[in-house]
Chains A and B, each alone.
Chain A
Amino acid sequence: MRAQFVMSEIGVGLRRNLTMTFAVIISVALSLALFGGSLLMRDQVSAMKGYWYDKVNVTVYLCNKSDAKDAADAATDAAAKGDSGAVAKGPCAKGAVTPEQKQRIEADLKKLDLVQSVTYESSDEAYKHYKERYGQTALASVVTPDQMPDSFRVKLKNPEQYKVITSAFAGRDGVQSVADQSSEVDNLFSLLGTLNWAALGIMMIMLIVALLLIVNTVRVSAFSRRRETGIMRLVGASGFYIQVPFIMEAAVAGLIGAVLACVMLGAGQYFVIDHGVDLRHKLELINFIGWDSVFTKLPLVLVVGLLMPSLAAFVALRKYLKV
């Protein structure tokens, strides 16, 4: 096989179908950029999960005096309106948490296997933290330590199992509520997951468009070169030799598209996360993926960009090129 001969055939073929080649390059580039983007999105979500799940707690708020008073007031109001059977309802109906209840709750929490650590935050500490965060606002000036609840901050070994704590402790005597921050985080993750699926869906459509374009390009290419291939066949060129220029054409176009996709991914990392829009500094709460993530995806994008069009061309040739 003479490399120079094959290379010149490829060059001629690509130039002959310049518009079609251009369309193939663009569609391959876009589909692979989406493919790489959704891989990176996956990385981003798992990075965020690790980071945030590490920070989120399940908080068991305990009843304080004002909660108990609210519950009792509500019952009294109901009785005054003629509801003779009215008793105090709601989580804190039985009054503020007692020291025994507090001890029992803490002991029960520590007994659970999935709990990593339990810290107690008294209402005074809660008040102090509240003041630190919202000290300047008007609301902060009217809040008193009495209104802040005592709470247990529970750290879980596996943050996704927060529901166990909720079901075990919500509604217990002395427990006002169980708040779980990760359920809010989960909403965000499910949104990101949906976005990721959408990206994958668009990628699939783009990929199909790219493949159809390649099949069509090969068909046009095979038709416009039927003279050459006919002669090649007659003088005994092997099927491989006849097909290689077509496959290489698709591979070259695919590779150019893949390189463009890589550039797009790099540009996205550079201009959206690191500089330009600069999300990394604007959203410090989020732990963004770094260049290492991007670089590990690029070889995969290049390989897919090289192999997929070649395979499509090969399949198309079986139909449109008699060997």
Chain B
Amino acid sequence: MIRFDSVSKSYPKQSRPALRDVSLEIAKGEFVFLVGSSGSGKSTFLRLVLREERASHGQVHVLGKDLAKLSNWKVPHMRRQLGTVFQDFRLLPNKTVAENVAFAQEVIGKPRGEIRKAVPQVLELVGLGGKEGRMPGELSGGEQQRVAIARAFVNRPALLIADEPTGNLDPQTSVGIMKLLDRINRTGTTVIMATHDQQIVDQMRKRVIELEQGRLVRDQSRGVYGYQH
């Protein structure tokens, strides 16, 4: 599903590379936590997977494709097979819950009939049945994140990337979000989640990948958070 072959990434005007010689493989259907302090390279890792950035050295394979060889105009098609969730939800405030989810399908040209069927279905799945007409501002943080997850999942991506999805949520709400991500993972979707939340990582007992100053320092199946911040 994802393979990094001795990947390095340095940004211009920065002496220290954000990633150094990272090699790893993530198989289909895995649930992976990406941990590390701020500036350890977690975001760069995710940006490379999304091909928002290109690796300076080494090869990044996502969904069987070498991203260095993927031409720019094919990138959107690749991204349609990825879902993304962020700490700040990134919902459109002037659209309803259903419209926010439908937006993800409209902009890739899905037929209207399909959208009308898929949106209530996915909202039901994330536990927001009956809240289709609400505006994001009327929802709690946990509910907004569920909308974002629904939007990421509505196109049934093979890979879901979550960048600190519980960063803005209280522990109880976070548990609900994690249960939802776990359920999505059980449908066969690979999940990569960058997080700082020790409790969640320790509870879930999934594979843990730890980065430190751009290096891969730990890759442990059924791991714990393991470092103090």
Contacts and interface: CB of A to CB of B under 8 A. Distances in A.
Interface in A232-265: 232-239, 241-242
Given A2-B106, A230-B90, A231-B92, A239 B84 contact: no
B69 interface: no
Chain B CB count within 10 A is highest, among A231, A234, A241, for: A234
A5 B108 contact: no
Interface residues of A, number: 17
Interface string A144-171: 0000000000000000000000000000
B76 A5 contact: no
A231 to B, nearest CB: 6
A186 interface: no
A5 B106 contact: yes
Contact of B80 (A230, A236, A239): A236
Nearest to B103: A231
Given A234-B84, A234-B90, 18 more contacts: A2-B109, A227-B90, A228-B103, A231-B151, A232-B107, A233-B76, A234-B79, A235-B103, A235-B107, A235-B108, A235-B155, A236-B76, A236-B79, A236-B108, A237-B108, A238-B73, A238-B108, A239-B72
Q: 10 nearest interchain CB pairs? A: A236-B80, A236-B79, A237-B107, A235-B104, A236-B76, A238-B76, A232-B107, A234-B84, A5-B106, A236-B108
Interface of B: 50, 72-73, 76-82, 84, 90, 92, 103-104, 106-109, 112, 151-152, 155
18 contacts: A1-B109, A5-B107, A227-B92, A228-B92, A231-B107, A231-B151, A234-B50, A234-B84, A235-B79, A235-B103, A235-B155, A236-B76, A236-B77, A236-B78, A236-B79, A237-B108, A239-B76, A241-B107
Interface of A: 1-2, 5, 227-228, 230-239, 241-242
